Amino acid sequence: MRVITAKRETRKGRIIMKRQMMLIGMLCGFVFCAWAQDKDAEVHGAPAQQKRAEILWTRVLCKQPGRYIGWATVCMDSNGALFAVFSGDRDEHVCPWGKVFLVTSADQGETWSQARIIGNTPLDDRDAGIIALPNGELLASWFNSRYYENYIRDRSKLKEGTPQLYWWLHSEKQTPEDKQGLGLFEVRSKDGGKTWTPPKQIIGVTGSTPHGPILLKDGRLLYFGCFFNKQAFIAVAESRDLGKTWKHLADLPPLPGDNRPLVLDEPYAVETDDGRIVVQIRYPGEDHCMRQSESSDGGKTWTAIQKTPLAGLPPHLIKLRDGKLVTVYGRRFADFGEYACISDDHGRTWDAANEIKLSANFNGDLGYPASVELKDGTILTVYYQPEKEGEKPCLMATRWRLKASR
């Protein structure tokens, strides 16, 4: 009897062990499948898990059905409120109808307000920037354009019912004062974006650029603009009174031997923890790579402009709280989308081997991304591109985080 009982207990033990092994195998399989799915997951065409970053979500912040949105910038005030500006209510990339819109978020980008107009001159208002000032004000800036007139010079070629015919009719109604009102403009808010001053022209800044001025640790504002005078230049203007007045500070060295009007275009800069200022510049060459220059004396002098390994346009840079630099840019050639790259050494080098893809797109009508570091250390990058094929571009955003360095 004892022998029989022992055999039964042994057999029972083997059955239990076999079931346990099967259960462990199933659990391991589930874990592996979940890991594999997570590893291969995509967020709006971008891998959710990348070597240096994790993509958390990509969403539409504002869509104006049948209308075109472009050229956004975002900032955060001292209370953690977010403010994004863009050019909206447009027919297309170039048209006379552009207006500066604002959307806001009180919950770190999870939900956003309805868009409202904060800037509207008689011409095409585009490429809006916004910055939170140390005195609590918000400063939004942009430039306007008459470039659309290039498409409507010959009235006889404009067909009835086309947008271009309405552009021509609009242009005919404009006064000489309207047409002479080209330039840079600003509006300000002292109450957290609830009300804004009327548009005021910015005097003392040469050229124009997306995203507006940058704020330095010493309280100065710097505005980088592109202009052409026999050669393409990047001019630097300085304000010591939070943008109320501006004066010319410096010109970056031009590219020797290259006289194309837009060979240097759409610059943006950031101040590093080691006291330098790093500016990146859109460059229309065959290599598609942005250019870069640096200043170690507060913007008075600049190094020769050098090629970066960053293929895209145009740049927007921020410094994270840990000192790393993040630059973001759109790619209007295959592989279309929004991209980011990290510098671990204050902008001296860029980790292009581990470039971060933020969002994919199906064509090149996209870009001009801008970023802000949120309170929890994640990054919100806003940009414009169509959400779906057949639609016009809308305001979109990607929230992402850097992975800890190993």
pLDDT tens for 137-158 read: 999 999 999 999 999 999 999 9
Reported as a pLDDT band with limits 50, 70 and 90, residue 38 is low
pLDDT at residue 200, as a whole number: 97
What confidence category does residue 30 fall into, taking pLDDT thresholds of 50, 70 and 90?
very low
Q: Any idea which of 34-43, 192-201, 277-286, 356-365 has the lowest mean pLDDT?
A: 34-43
Q: Whole-number mean pLDDT of the chain?
A: 92
Residue whose structure tokens are 């992975």: 403
Q: Is the confidence at residue 1, as pLDDT, over 70?
A: no
Flag whether pLDDT at 228 surpasses 90. no
Residue range 361-381: average pLDDT?
98
Instruction: Confirm if 202 and 246 have CB atoms less than 8 A apart.
Output: yes
| Partners of 188 in beta bridges | 139
Domain 48-146+182-402 is found in CATH 3.30.70.20: no
The proportion of the chain whose per-residue pLDDT surpasses 70, expressed as a percent, equals 90
Report the distance separating Cα 195 and Cα 180, nearest Å: 27
Quote the pLDDT of residue 28: 47
pLDDT grade, residue 260 (50/70/90)? confident
Identify the residue with better confidence: 334 or 41. 41
126 and 70 Cβ atoms separated by less than 8 Å: yes
pLDDT for 227:
85
Mean pLDDT of 118-132: 97
Q: Which helix (H) or strand (E) holds 137?
A: none
Quote the pLDDT of residue 286. Answer: 87
Torsion of CA 188, 191, 193, 199, to 10 degrees: -20
Give residue 31's pLDDT band: very low, low, confident or very high (50, 70, 90).
very low
pLDDT confidence of residue 35: 43
Asked if the model's pLDDT at residue 215 lies above 90, the reply is yes
**Residues 392, 377 contacting (CB under 8 angstroms):** no
Query: What DSSP state is assigned to residue 111?
Result: S
Which 3 state secondary structure label does DSSP give 287?
coil
- Taking residues 363-367, what's their average pLDDT? 97
- pLDDT, tens only, 264-277: 999 999 999 999 99
Q: How far is 142 from 140, CA to CA, in rounded Å?
A: 7
Using the structure block, give the residue that is written with the tokens 């001025």. Answer: 213
Across 183-208, average pLDDT = 96
Q: Name the burial class of residue 311, with classes exposed (0-12), middle (13-18) and buried (19+) by CB atoms within 10 angstroms of its CB.
A: middle
Confidence (pLDDT) at 124: 98
Q: Say what the pLDDT of residue 277 is.
A: 98
Give the pLDDT confidence score for residue 15 in this predicted structure: 57
Distances (CA, A) of 78 to 83, 107, 132: 12, 13, 8
User: Could you tell me if 70 and 393 are in contact, meaning their C-beta atoms sit under 8 angstroms apart?
Assistant: yes
Residue 382 is encoded by which pair of tokens?
């806003």
Whole-number Å distance between alpha carbons of 152 and 162? 11
Kindly report the pTM of this predicted structure.
Answer: 0.90
Task: Name the amino acid, one letter, at 125.
Answer: D
Q: How far apart are CA 398 and CA 48, in angstroms?
A: 11
| Domain range summary for the chain, segments of one domain joined by + | 1-40, 48-146+182-402
pLDDT at residue 33 in the model: 41
**pLDDT above 50 for 6:** no
Beta carbons of 305 and 262 less than 8 angstroms apart: no
